[in-house]
Structure 1
Amino acid sequence: MDIAALSPTCLSTQPQKSRRVLLYSHDTFGLGHLRRSRALATAITSADPHATAIILTGSPVAGRFAFPERVDHVRLPGVTKQADGSYVSQSLDMGIDQTTAMRAGLIKSAAEQYQPDLLIVDKEPTGFRGEVLPTLQMLKDRGTTKLVLGLRDVLDSPEIMGTEWDRKGGIDATERFYDEIWVYGLRSFYDPTSGLDLNEETRARMTYTGYLRREVHVDAPALDAAYILVTPGGGGDGQAMVNLVLSAYEQDPDLSPMAVLVYGPFLSGDTRELFERRVRNLNGRVRAVGFESQIETLFAGAQGVVCMGGYNTFCEVLSFDQRAVIVPRTVPRREQHIRASRGKALGLVQMLDEDQGQLTPQSMIHAIRNLPFQKLPSQSYIPGLLDGLDVVVDRARALMATKPTVPAAE
């Protein structure tokens, strides 16, 4: 979406008739934040014919996703994390400070002109390098926008989160700006704030929503054979898992059913070419595609799933009641390992644990062969497990109902 389309003449001079939701998703790597924001925007606007939503995202592949009616997006200049942990502009001839300043200006301009009733910030309370702070302060001063911080079920280990939020000013920003904190999970599953020194008043503003249910939104033809789905999510850190699955099929010529491998948009280059050669040599026992924006259709038709432990993938496993083997990454964050471990303990999934030396082709062969005998997630009944979108819709409606009306400009 061209931010120029949000001109003051077409928005700020008119009384607000719709309920407007702005979602911020910093997206420096992967697909998780954008896909979560899209799910939230879709649910809120589907439940309210007078609601519209704009997603602010730094994802380089935002344009490859379909957005529903009354949901649009503004693409922020992209940034890339280097091996040493520093960031650089993805495509602009600008330093990271200039790029961040530009992104901050675009975020604030969008908020000024769109005049949202509700702002939902995903995961980072201050945004990437503090870029959302000017917008939070402006909206807080105006008092006409409700501010929500949305957190996934697991952020990282408690000790790391405490240090990280102290460094970024996350505690102060959360306590000072946000009207509510939504945790897209269950308290009984995990508390992502356990390492954070939040005051009791702030904790009283927390709502555990449950996981965000996913559905198939488009009709797609069924595949002509039984298959398991293999997905590393965005794919940028999925080489090890993909290699493990291919090795399993290479070493066991009788391993079945067929695997449908979705690389993800960030698994590319020489590594992708090597994997493609190995797939061709398996003579149809593994089929591979690069990117599937409607991956829900593949989840719905699969006989089981082998995946990494990202939040969105976990939601899809639960939503489509799929037997799943999770191969979580352990660096740079322990998030996926914590999620997979808790899921296994509750009987929702199985996992191959790097800490237990289980990342071997033999372990993967055994896991795939055992998939049909796993319990379905639904057999481990957990009340409210997939109520997340319903709770979000209810909370969004309640917050926007208490928001003062923005007067028309003179």
Structure 2
Amino acid sequence: MTRRLDDARILMYSHDTFGLGHLRRCRTIAHSLVEDYRGLNILIISGATIAGAFDYRARVDFVKIPSVIKLHNGDYTSLDRHIELDETLKMRQSIIRHTAETFKPDIFIVDKEPMGLRGEVEETLTYLKAHGTTLVLGLREVMDAPHLLEAEWKRRDTMRKIEQYYDTIWVYGPPDFYDPLTELEVPPAVRERMNFVGFLQRSVPREELPGHKPEGDYILVTTGGGGDGADLIHDFIHAYQQDPGLTHKALVVLGPYMPVKKREKLIRKGSKIPHIKIIEFDNRMEELIAGAKGVVAMGGYNTYCEILSFDKPALIVPRIQPREEQLIRARRASELGLIDMLLPEEAEDPLRFAAALKALPQRAPPSKSCANGLRLEGLVHISEIVGGWLGEQSSEHLSIVKKSS
């Protein structure tokens, strides 16, 4: 039910250095909240180069900060190569702080990076905490391999800072799927603040665009942002080349961050196969996944939520480095019978990949394999939590006004 709130404000932070996952997750949460609460305004701070390529509902907007790119070796560089990284980070930090001071949010939600990229959010967290803003850390259900995450967080003293700043931690998954802080030394105060809200359900846009989806049955192949997706697309096309019996119609979405030379090479290669259509980017992926007979993907968080939301048979070929997040998620989902999985080296075998692709449309959807794995309650739970917080603030404000009058 839609409720009215009096000028409530939520600020969200999405560092966005490599893919689209953080921005798409923030946008999903923001759209759900403004649909539930009419007086709510949400502003998303994003470093995504294509933040403006997505549509935003009324009362949801974004502030673009200078983009920083994460390289395959884990280092960062400014998108504008003429500006030093340190200068770019100073600009980002200043914009974030100034936005918070001007916007005056009731709630500040930070996606995945507790202190932001290279600590750029810590100053803003200090400011907002002193001004009574509710501070929320949102974590994927899988962050990374425990030993990698522990080393990274110890180096940055992250766990202590989480305890110092954050009022609550939302885990975007159910507790029986995976614990993002498993095997880490978690202070009791941090553990008590963790709330496993559930996976974030996706829905198709209200207005369909004519000619947006292919006609007839098709398999959808998606690499998310595409920055590290070229190998999957290459292996997919190779499977079609080596097995003439593979005739499923396929729509391949490369992703906006795929390097130009790799993108052009794959488009040329795929154009020789009549069953394959390749596009570079689509800002309405929910619609494409909802219409597909099956999905081939690397298994990032958003794609996985979409596979569950639209109950689609899926074949996941996860990225295994430098982060193991996709691998851990795919293995756990495979254990539960929700998806099929091939390791990247297995997908390099064209006949093995072709056999998995042939079987995909006949695979039982996730709901038939594991009913428990389809709990997509995250948006509902977040709405209830936010409504409770803002409703209390609204009641307190009303009480103060009545007393003063």
C-alpha distance in structure 2 between counterparts of 1:264 and 1:405, whole Å: 46
Q: Which residue of 1 aligns with 2:291?
A: 301
C-alpha distance in structure 1 between counterparts of 2:33 and 2:236, whole Å: 38
Q: Which residue of 2 aligns with 1:394?
A: 384
C-alpha distance in structure 1 between counterparts of 2:276 and 2:61, whole Å: 36
Aligned residue among 306, 319, 333 for 2:323: 333
Q: Which residue of 2 aligns with 1:274?
A: 265
Structure 1's consecutive aligned runs of 4 or more residues displaced over 6 angstroms after TM superposition are none
Is the 8 Å Cα contact of residues 161 and 195 (structure 1) preserved in structure 2?
A: no
1:360 and 2:363 equivalent? Answer: no
Cα deviation, residue 358, structure 1: 4.8
The aligned amino acid for 2:222 is T
Aligned residue among 267, 271, 291 for 2:281: 291
> Matches of residues 18-97 of structure 1 in structure 2 within 5 Å?
18-91=7-80, 93-97=82-86
Q: Which residue of 1 aligns with 2:375?
A: 385
C-alpha distance in structure 2 between counterparts of 1:158 and 1:203, whole Å: 16
C-alpha distance in structure 2 between counterparts of 1:58 and 1:17, whole Å: 29
1:132 and 2:121 equivalent? Answer: yes
Name the stretch that deviates more: 379-388 or 187-196.
379-388
Cα deviation, residue 167, structure 1: 1.4
> Matches of residues 305-324 of structure 1 in structure 2 within 5 Å?
305-324=295-314
Cα deviation, residue 383, structure 1: 6.7
The aligned amino acid for 1:139 is L
1:199 and 2:187 equivalent? Answer: yes
C-alpha distance in structure 2 between counterparts of 1:358 and 1:270, whole Å: 22
The aligned amino acid for 2:220 is L
Cα deviation, residue 286, structure 1: 0.2
Relative to 1, partners in 2 of residues 1:383 and 1:399: Cα closer, same or farther, differing over 3 Å?
farther
Relative to 1, partners in 2 of residues 1:116 and 1:405: Cα closer, same or farther, differing over 3 Å?
farther
C-alpha distance in structure 1 between counterparts of 2:378 and 2:73, whole Å: 36
1:184 and 2:184 equivalent? Answer: no
C-alpha distance in structure 2 between counterparts of 1:17 and 1:192, whole Å: 35
Relative to 1, partners in 2 of residues 1:373 and 1:383: Cα closer, same or farther, differing over 3 Å?
closer
Alpha-carbon displacement from aligned partner over 1:326-353 (angstroms, at most 9, x marks no partner): 0001001010000000000011101002
The aligned amino acid for 2:109 is I
Q: Which residue of 2 aligns with 1:7?
A: none
Cα deviation, residue 384, structure 1: 6.7
Cα deviation, residue 86, structure 1: 2.7
Cα deviation, residue 82, structure 1: 3.5
TM-score, normalised to structure 2, is: 0.92
The aligned amino acid for 2:130 is D
Cα deviation, residue 151, structure 1: 0.2
Name the stretch that deviates more: 379-388 or 243-252.
379-388
Q: Residue 382 of structure 1 aligns to a residue in which SS? A: helix
Q: Residue 49 of structure 1 aligns to a residue in which SS? A: coil
1:371 and 2:360 equivalent? Answer: yes
1 or 2 for the larger relative contact order (CA 8 Å, sep ≥6)? 1
Cα deviation, residue 83, structure 1: 4.9
Q: Which residue of 1 aligns with 2:334?
A: 344
C-alpha distance in structure 2 between counterparts of 1:87 and 1:149, whole Å: 23
Is the 8 Å Cα contact of residues 236 and 266 (structure 1) preserved in structure 2?
A: yes
Is the 8 Å Cα contact of residues 175 and 198 (structure 1) preserved in structure 2?
A: no
Relative to 1, partners in 2 of residues 1:191 and 1:405: Cα closer, same or farther, differing over 3 Å?
same
Q: Could you list the runs of 5+ residues in structure 1 that have no partner in the other structure?
A: 1-15
Relative to 1, partners in 2 of residues 1:83 and 1:300: Cα closer, same or farther, differing over 3 Å?
closer
1:147 and 2:138 equivalent? Answer: no
How many residues end up aligned between the 2 structures? 390
Is the 8 Å Cα contact of residues 124 and 170 (structure 1) preserved in structure 2?
A: no
Q: Which residue of 2 aligns with 1:264?
A: 255
C-alpha distance in structure 1 between counterparts of 2:313 and 2:237, whole Å: 20
Aligned residue among 111, 114, 118 for 2:100: 111
Aligned residue among 137, 148, 160 for 1:172: 160
Name the stretch that deviates more: 220-229 or 198-207.
220-229
The aligned amino acid for 1:210 is G
Q: Could you list the runs of 5+ residues in structure 2 that have no partner in the other structure?
A: none
Is the 8 Å Cα contact of residues 308 and 374 (structure 2) preserved in structure 1?
A: no
Is the 8 Å Cα contact of residues 107 and 132 (structure 1) preserved in structure 2?
A: yes
C-alpha distance in structure 1 between counterparts of 2:71 and 2:285, whole Å: 29
CA RMSD of aligned residues (A): 1.8
C-alpha distance in structure 2 between counterparts of 1:319 and 1:82, whole Å: 31
Q: Which residue of 2 aligns with 1:245?
A: 236
Relative to 1, partners in 2 of residues 1:402 and 1:163: Cα closer, same or farther, differing over 3 Å?
farther
Q: Residue 281 of structure 1 aligns to a residue in which SS? A: coil
Q: Residue 24 of structure 1 aligns to a residue in which SS? A: strand
Cα deviation, residue 405, structure 1: 4.8
Q: Which residue of 2 aligns with 1:210?
A: 198
C-alpha distance in structure 2 between counterparts of 1:405 and 1:123, whole Å: 32
Cα deviation, residue 84, structure 1: 4.6
Cα deviation, residue 156, structure 1: 0.5
